[in-house]
Amino acid sequence: MSIGRPRSAVDALPAYRPGKGAAQAEEEHGIQDAIKLASNENPLPPIASIQAAVNAAASGVNRYADHRATEVRARIANWLEVREDQVTAGCGSVGLLQQLALTYVDPGDEVVYPWRSFEVYPIYTQLMGGVAVTVPLNASLGFDLDAVAAAVTDKTKLVLLATPNNPTGTAVTTDALADMMANISEDVIVVVDEAYREFLDPSFGDPVQDLVPRFPNVIVTRTMSKAHGLAGVRFGYAIGHPDVITSIDKTLAPFAVNAMAQAAALAAIDAEDEIKARVADILSERNRVVQELTAAGWDLPDAQANFVYLPLGDRTDDIYLGLEKLGVVTRPFSGEGIRVTIGTPTQNDRFLTALQSAGGSGASV
């Protein structure tokens, strides 16, 4: 029982479970020097110029920020070569996903997404009283876009596609998405959630260039939480048709994109070269980790983000606990697999060594 009669949709919701922190693992297991590879964060502190911009903005936080983040929208429009009215900003891209749910999902409306995918999709769907329609992943732990299109009905309001997908890391090309769009009505909003875009091989295409101009019902969400190392300040953005942008803007909580987030976003766009260099380092580490695991007998799904996914099935909980006791905190999906964020080279070595000790050798998709 809860005080105050929460809506049944809220009562039924599980609490959001963030990745476990290193300090908590140290306390639970009586260990030291635990590392967190559980939330797909950037392992390095933010770039100096971004930190300086956040510090400078902190001196003005007695004032409300610009609710619309006008300057940042203009900069993003310029950066991505779209019009200003095609851009919005949100409190992280999960804030934008929540705005999309608030905007489009009435009780009983359907929300289609492949599963397993990002955990906030079922939460926001349920919160609105929507009906989740999930489409199984294919044998390579990627998306079956024909099945996604086939799952869309008259009741569907949203399709949610994380590419690269969290937690499996697989991606779909914009060509494949365009083929799928040909079979989906313009009444259905298709969200291309590109939280990991910066880590994706460019051969997959750019949905902002390849899809948004062709399909008014496609909206692309992106974030500065992962590649840009700004998970703690909360800045996400979206690019789509001006009508969609206008609708979802109505649902932004007042001043949810705070002054420090806006300053960080502007500084991050200015620091694009430094960020690209850091992304290149993470990619080379990701490729090294994939190579070493493959050499050890693993058959992994295609890794296109800043993490790898170990399809451990029934062994998931055991291996997860084994890793954690050795101070390597990862993200388990019980009965399915473990997602491991790419960290610094030293952290990645710790993971690879711990995985061997924990008995997690060679498994197939």
Binding site for ligand PLP (CB under 6 A): 40, 92-94, 118, 162, 166, 193, 195, 223, 225-226, 231, 236
Name the E strands within the chain: 35-36, 87-90, 110-115, 131-136, 156-162, 189-193, 218-223, 236-239, 307-310, 328-329, 331-333, 337-341
Shortest reach from residue 295's CB to ligand PLP, in Å:
28
Query: 177 and 345 in contact (C-beta within 8 Å)?
Result: no
End-to-end CA distance of the chain: 42
**How far apart are the C-alpha atoms of 78 and 44, rounded to whole Å?**
28
Output 118 or 199, the one with its CB closest to ligand PLP: 118
Output 162 or 264, the one with its CB closest to ligand PLP: 162
Output 89 or 354, the one with its CB closest to ligand PLP: 89
Q: Which residue is nearest to ligand PLP (CB)?
A: 92
Shortest reach from residue 355's CB to ligand PLP, in Å:
22
Output 169 or 327, the one with its CB closest to ligand PLP: 169
The strand pair at 156-162 and 110-115 is best described as parallel
Output 236 or 360, the one with its CB closest to ligand PLP: 236
Counting beta carbons within 10 angstroms of the beta carbon of residue 21, is it exposed (0 to 12), middle (13 to 18) or buried (19 or more)? middle
**How far apart are the C-alpha atoms of 136 and 139, rounded to whole Å?**
9
Shortest reach from residue 314's CB to ligand PLP, in Å:
25
**How far apart are the C-alpha atoms of 105 and 107, rounded to whole Å?**
7
Shortest reach from residue 257's CB to ligand PLP, in Å:
11
Shortest reach from residue 100's CB to ligand PLP, in Å:
12
In this structure, how many other beta carbons lie within 10 angstroms of the beta carbon of residue 138? 14
Output 155 or 173, the one with its CB closest to ligand PLP: 173
Shortest reach from residue 339's CB to ligand PLP, in Å:
10
Beta-sheet strand order (sheet of 87-90): 87-90, 236-239, 218-223, 189-193, 156-162, 110-115, 131-136
**How far apart are the C-alpha atoms of 167 and 353, rounded to whole Å?**
22
Amino acid code (one letter) for 274 = E
- CB-based contacts of 271: which residues, under 8 Å, 6+ apart? 47, 49, 50
Shortest reach from residue 346's CB to ligand PLP, in Å:
24
Output 94 or 271, the one with its CB closest to ligand PLP: 94
**How far apart are the C-alpha atoms of 172 and 162, rounded to whole Å?**
9
Query: 362 and 296 in contact (C-beta within 8 Å)?
Result: yes
Output 86 or 93, the one with its CB closest to ligand PLP: 93
Output 262 or 315, the one with its CB closest to ligand PLP: 262
Shortest reach from residue 108's CB to ligand PLP, in Å:
25
Shortest reach from residue 221's CB to ligand PLP, in Å:
7
